[in-house]
Amino acid sequence: MKQKHFNIPIFIPELACPFQCIFCNQKKITGQASIPSEKEITNLIEKYLKTIDTQKSAVEIAFFGGNFTGLPLAKQETLLKAVTPYFHSGISGIRISTRPDFINKNNLSLLKSYSVQTIELGIQSFDDEVLEKSKRGYDSKKAVSACRMVKKMGFNLGIQMMSGLPGSTLEKEMETAFYASRLQADMARIYPVVVIRDTVLEKLFDEKKYLPLSLNEAVKRSCLLLQYFESKNIPVIRLGLHPSEGLLSGRDIVSGPFHPSFRELVYSEIWKSILSPLLEEREKKSKKLTLRVSPSEVNYVSGYDSCNKIMLLNFFSRVRILPSEKLNGRYYETEWS
């Protein structure tokens, strides 16, 4: 089995969107304004393929952003045709992201005929009030029926959801995660809302009609959502917006919980709550602590900027965090001296 998964991202900006969702400015989020030409697509794939070991990685072409199935069928076909030859060069599949109200039999059949494996739906919420306030242009019934159609046609279903949308609450977000699991989502992405420049949300923010989540609250909600998805064996393949240049420089952000290492913050917070009970072991205060954890968790246990290690060092005289092949998930073993 190939160990790593790699996406070659091709961004399709919002040109096919019939609505302007209040939080969206794809140009600023993706750093791109027009649909790439066939030549640009092939150049991009070849550039990526030079850097990826296709023997060791499962590589997919991913049409992200915008509304893939909102493009005319002929345009969708042109884009799919442009990537098909690469199935002989180690590409194992195609994934697209799109809106639930642009899912129908015709476009699903086209995607099937070009071996698209995964369809990610920008659901954002299954709550009607939140969808209405975000000007998504569809309701929860439509979102549910699109998910069902995608599954029925044998695609993997990805659900993209947002946290902190106007009218949303933690309860509504947990319900969205619950429905995603009921609809047998194969993967999820969680995006806390960030107020991007030149969006309707910026106007609402300026008029004090919308307040984004604090970074702290966004991390806390994401922890709960992530743990819920994990409990249902649904991998969360993205937490937080992809850090484009404009987002990283802060140029395109008005306000909100953007952080380039958002995933790390969430994982650190989960480990913080797992490790906190150690601080209640008063009789061990000032002892030397060795924690053994799964190799993939070492950095998260230590925490973003070593925040968890510092928390432990305030209590114990020495803290070592060591990898152990024996352990997996979020299990740990302690040793005291």
The contact set with ligand SF4 (CB under 6 A) reads 14, 17, 20-21, 24, 26, 66-67, 99, 122
Residue 124 CB, shortest distance to ligand SF4, in Å, is 8
Minimum Å distance from CB 261 to ligand SF4?
23
Closest approach, Cβ 13 to ligand SF4, in A, equals: 7
6 CA to centre of own chain: 14
Distance of alpha carbon 165 from the chain centroid: 16
Smallest separation (angstroms) from ligand SF4 to the CB of 162: 9
Alpha-carbon distance of 157 to 139, in angstroms, equals 19
Q: Which is nearer to ligand SF4, 89 or 104 (CB)?
A: 104
Q: Give me the least distance between CB of 67 and ligand SF4, in Å please.
A: 5
Q: Decide whether 101 or 173 has the Cβ nearer to ligand SF4.
A: 101
Please report how close the Cβ of residue 137 comes to ligand SF4 at its closest, in angstroms.
8
CB of 26 to ligand SF4, least distance (A): 5
Which lies closer to ligand SF4 via its Cβ, residue 136 or residue 292? 136
How far is residue 259's CA from residue 248's CA, in Å, rounded to a whole number? 8
Output 101 or 297, the one with its CB closest to ligand SF4. Answer: 101
User: DSSP assignment of 214-283, as one string?
Assistant: PHHHHHHHHHHHHHHHHHTT--EEEES----HHHHHSTTEEES---TTHHHHHHHHHHHHHHGGGGG-GG
Taking the least distance from each CB to ligand SF4, the nearer of 122 and 257 is 122
Of the candidates 191, 244, 255, the one whose C-alpha atom is nearest the C-alpha of residue 27 is 244
Closer by beta carbon to ligand SF4, 6 or else 68: 68
Residue among 86 and 191 whose Cβ is closer to ligand SF4: 191
What is the DSSP secondary structure assignment for residue 88, as one 8-state letter? G
Q: Smaller CB distance to ligand SF4: residue 165 or 289?
A: 165
Strands 236-239 and 332-336: unpaired
Output the CA–CA distances (angstroms, integers) from residue 253 to 13, 25, 316, in the order listed. 18, 11, 40
Residues 6+ apart with CB under 8 A from 206: none
Residue 192 host element (H or E) = strand 187-192
Q: How far is CA 43 from CA 68, 88, 242, 319, in A?
A: 20, 16, 22, 49
CA distance 172 to 153: 28
Cβ at position 24, least distance to ligand SF4 in Å: 3
Please report which helix (H) or strand (E) contains residue 112, including its range: helix 105-113
Greatest Cα pair distance, the chain, in angstroms, is: 71
